[in-house]
Structure formats: C-alpha cells, structure tokens
Amino acid sequence: MASIDDSLRENEKAHARTHSTADTSDRSSYTSHMSLGEEAVAAPEELPAAEHPTVALLIPFPQLLRPPSSQKVKVPPFMVYAPLGAPLPPPKEGEKDSYKNKAIRRWQKEEKEAKESGAGFKAKAVKLISKGMSATKNSRIEFLVRTPNKKKLKELRFVYPSSMPAEHVQQQFTELVKSAKKGAIMNGVIATSLAPFALAFDTLTFIPGPFEITAVWSASSWTGAARAAGIANRITSRDGALPLSFTPDTRALELLAFRMHEICARKARPGTVAQPHLGGAPGENARPMRGPELAGAALDVFRAYGEDMDDVETDRMRVAEDLERCMKKAAKEWAKAVA
C-alpha cells in the first residue's frame, strides 16, 4: 500500500512540474487543468493539504449575441467570488485589539441589530450606510479584500464550470487583478475624503459607527489596492511566485453560472444574450437552485477544495444574501460594459 502511495505522489510531482503555472519544484501543488474536452486531472479528494489555501469561484458571464457598442471597452469574462469571512471573534484574554478590528466588530454588531429590528431611524441609517459602502466597492475589489495578506496567502485555487471556455483563464485573471488596482485606489481616495462628513453625521445624530466604518472602508480599499499589486506581482514573477490552480467543476459551478446568466439577462438590453438554459448530462434531471440551497452548494465547493472553514461564514442564509448581492453587483458592471 505504501508503494502505491509513493508512486501516486511521484506521478503527481512529475505532472505538477510539467503543467504548473509557477515553479513548483520545491513545493507541493495540485495540477492545473485548463482545457475543455477532458476530465479533471485532480479530484478534490486528491488535492494535497495546504497550510492556508484560498479558494475562489470563477463564475462566467453569459456569451454575447452581439459585440458591445464600444470596441474600446473590455468586457469582464467572469466574476471572482471568495467566501464571506466569519464574524470576528472577541479578542482573547490579555490580547490587544486593534482599532480596525474594534470598528469592524462594532459595525458587525450594528448591522446584525439593524437586520433584526428593521425599524427606527438608527436601523435605517445603518442599512443606508451599509448599502453605500457596498455600492462603491466593485466586485473585483471585494474579492481582493477577502484574500489573505501576502504572508498568509500561500496558494490560490480557482474552480470554474466545466462548460466555461478556459484556454486563457489565467491571463484573464491577471488582467482583472491589474485593472482592479486602479479602482481600489480610487475607492480609497473617495473613502478618505468622506471621513469628515461621516464624523459630522456621527456627531449630529448620536449614532455610533459612520466615522469609524468610513475609516475601515478606506483602509480596506487601500488594502484592496495593495493586494491587487501584490498578487499581480507574484503571479507574473518567479521570485516569491504565487501558485495558481484552475480546476473545472461539473456541478455547483454550473448552477452558479446559470444563476449569473439569469441575472445578466434581466440587466442587459434585449437581444444581448440568449435566454438562460441549465444543461446537464443525458438522463440527468438538472434543476436550478436558489438562496440557501445554492449557497450550500458553494460552501461545499470551498470545503472540498481545502478552504479553512473556521474563517468562513457558514450560515447559509447570510451566505445566500452575500452571494446574490455580489452576483447582482458584478452583473450590473458587466451590463454597463456591454451596453
């Protein structure tokens, strides 16, 4: 049995040296798979353990039936979705808590209370601030902010639908990260300029939160810019290269792609895309998923591909709300590009 395991490991290392997107001669990595007419080389249960793997989903936008009106506009090929982080736990006894963590924890409490009460001036103000913060950040920045810092980011694992044209997916991701840096810097400038107004609102209404949260939002926007630059540098250079893996999935990602197609079809002009259709294998009873059920399928993918679920929000209702919000935001950006 040991000899079989050794043989499998040797085969995996040999294949990784041939197909990996980065120099993997001295580290374990699972195989990248970037073609369509073949079965996935590595199933989730075959992936080697990683200390801090970051798993993200590539959810493609539907194919266009006609070219966009402006040839200069770059149409995004897909949305990148990283899992929503779990609420920050309280600091351990004797542990010093940072100002940023205090503000984030306080805001999470305010949002929870606002959702539970749903009434009153304070609840409405908190919801309005939350929507404003969310609307200003684009979908690419949200993904970047959710990735770990350079020290903790050991590997990026991407999962995409098997029906998605993936020949140039790594190049497309690199271009997406580079373009996101500009947007993150702009968001940081906007958030920083809003700080005095948030302080005035905080003082006049006696509602704690806006000034602190604007500061956190500004910090997260600058963090997004830094992460974009760091990831772009690491995936385009050999020194400190970041291992990237792209693996097709024939189940959950197809359901997510179908939901994205539905949203895009509603937001785009008539005749831009075909009507959404959920395909399946012969004899398979394919049916769409919604809400918590679809969120559960996404969580299963994160879990199967090695994401540390202790750091991830696992409440299906909250994940469903976050996933739907992110997909609608990304679809709106896509619709603007193809108009």
pLDDT by residue (tens digit) across 182-219?
A: 655 555 554 544 444 444 444 434 444 444 555 555 55
pLDDT for residue 304: 92
Q: pLDDT (tens digit, 9 = 90+) per residue, 21-48?
A: 333 333 333 333 333 333 333 444 444 4
- Cβ count within 10 A of residue 153: 17
* pLDDT over 50 at 111, yes or no: yes
In this prediction, residue 148 carries a pLDDT of: 81
| Range scoring the smallest mean pLDDT among 68-82, 84-98, 106-120 | 106-120
pLDDT for 165 equals: 81
DSSP state of 51: S
Mean of per-residue pLDDT scores for the chain: 71
Strands of the sheet containing 78-81, edge to edge, are 78-81, 53-60, 155-161, 244-249
Which of 253, 295, 254 shows the shortest CA–CA distance to 278?
254
pLDDT tens-digit profile of 264-298?
999 999 999 999 988 654 445 568 899 999 999 99
pLDDT (tens digit per residue) in 166-179: 788 888 888 888 77
Of the pLDDT bands very low, low, confident and very high (cuts 50, 70, 90), residue 149 is confident
Domain boundaries, the chain: 25-338
- At residue 322, the pLDDT reads 92
Whether the Cβ atoms of residue 158 and residue 81 lie closer than 8 Å to each other: no
Average pLDDT for 306-314:
90
In order of 31, 41, 123, 247, 321, the CA distances from 28 in angstroms are 10, 16, 49, 16, 35
The three-point CA angle 155-183-80 to 5° equals 40
Give the rounded percent of residues in the chain with a pLDDT score beyond 90: 28
Between 177 and 7, residue with greater pLDDT: 177
Scan for tokens 């940023």, then name that residue.
100
